[in-house]
Amino acid sequence: MIESSRYKKLWVLIMFFACVLMISCAQKVRVPTSQLDTPDHHFATGMKLLNQEKFGDAQREFELAIELDPKYAGAHAGVGLAKAYQADYKGGFAALDRAFENAKSDEEKLFIHIGYIRVNTLSRASCMQVGVVCKRENKDWLDLSRGEFEKAILIDPASAAAYYYMGLCYKTALDVVQASQMFSKVLEFKKDYINEADREWNLMQKIQRAMPGSVTGRQIAFVEKITRADAAALFMEEMKIDTLYRKRTPKTFDTSFKNPEKAAIKPKAAAPPADIINHPLKSDIEGIIEIGVRGLEAYHDGLFRPNDLVERAAYAMMIEDILIKVSGDNALATRFIGSTSPFPDLRSDLPYFNAVMVVTTRQIMGAKNITTGEFVPMGPVGGADALLIIRKIREELKF
């Protein structure tokens, strides 16, 4: 009996310490410090900051909400989104998992399903740059996103957010048709994300008109601002500029006398720019440098700067140079010098004025702002716009 009593006391003691340990390990709830220090207020502020792309600040607000209510599902999902936007995808998925464990209402579950779609898309988009190979763990991202989308519309068949973010998911997958359908559905609902969906839908239509033929072209079509490397790839792979020049540029022959000994010595090939050695588009860049396109040469310091953005004025100069070379019409280079500028933001004494006039009078490029008539020479060139311009050149040259 004495032994039994001792065991009972020991068991009670163990249970007591276990309870103490569990309580001490449980997440402590913070005491509010003001009337606005509430979970709902911090969540709403976090969502506002998330939409403003202040991701670190948004994460802090969501975490403040969790300190007040450790089981606040929406705040956990918000942390997941904030982490994903800061490239912490593993942390993002973990936070969404915690959110789902605490979700009670359909509204919370809907937000979390859409959150999974968004984090899947962000994770995939991070490795969708031209020439970058994605990690193996991302291989099922699209199927997983479809599954979350199906669960979302079971809860709310008219969820504009579900359709919009699934549209962005298909856009990241380079599926123009499916993305267009998703954005079109958002426009039909006439609720949330109207402006965003309208912009994306128009981009999908533009990409379909551009009809990129190469894999690289299809990737660049979705880029908002093309780089010098992108431009080189488009000219080489979409325009086939090397073949175009070969067919259109007249051959020249040097029949002058050459010293046989000197002629036998072949000049060394110029070394490629040091900053393209490991670039995924190295071959395209080397090809464009060899051909020689004004505005896409190596700089005086020998570098190419492949990641520099291409401005509209610079792209116009590239197109003008190509047109001059393939047509043999050297007069194009000075045709509009002294003319009056039709654009309110373009002086006629600017070095790129003639190029802009060449491409706009041929309707290869146009004003960026139709309302004001501004050309916006320093504005970026989108991938879809760059492809449409190339298509117009090919049609004009019947190539």
**Residue 58, domain CATH:** 1.25.40.10
211 lies in the same domain as 230:
no
User: Could you read off the pLDDT of 67-97 as tens digits, one per residue?
Assistant: 999 999 999 999 999 999 999 999 999 999 9
Answer whether residue 5 is part of any domain.
no
Answer whether residue 30 is part of any domain.
no
Distances (CA, A) of 378 to 64, 235, 301, 311: 42, 21, 23, 5
Q: How far apart are CA 162 and CA 148, in angstroms?
A: 9
Do residues 187 and 201 make contact, with C-beta atoms less than 8 angstroms apart? yes
Distances (CA, A) of 198 to 25, 119, 167, 260: 49, 22, 12, 67
148 lies in the same domain as 244:
no
Q: Could you give the number of structural domains in the chain?
A: 2
Say if residue 250's pLDDT is above 80. no
For 296, the domain range is 223-250+273-396
Residue 374: per-residue pLDDT: 95
Answer whether residue 293 is part of any domain.
yes
Answer whether residue 16 is part of any domain.
no
User: Could you read off the pLDDT of 280-293 as tens digits, one per residue?
Assistant: 999 999 999 999 99
198 lies in the same domain as 347:
no
Do residues 313 and 335 make contact, with C-beta atoms less than 8 angstroms apart? no
Answer whether residue 20 is part of any domain.
no
User: Could you read off the pLDDT of 151-196 as tens digits, one per residue?
Assistant: 999 999 999 999 999 999 999 999 999 999 999 999 999 999 999 9
Do residues 379 and 312 make contact, with C-beta atoms less than 8 angstroms apart? yes
Tell me the three state secondary structure of residue 346: coil
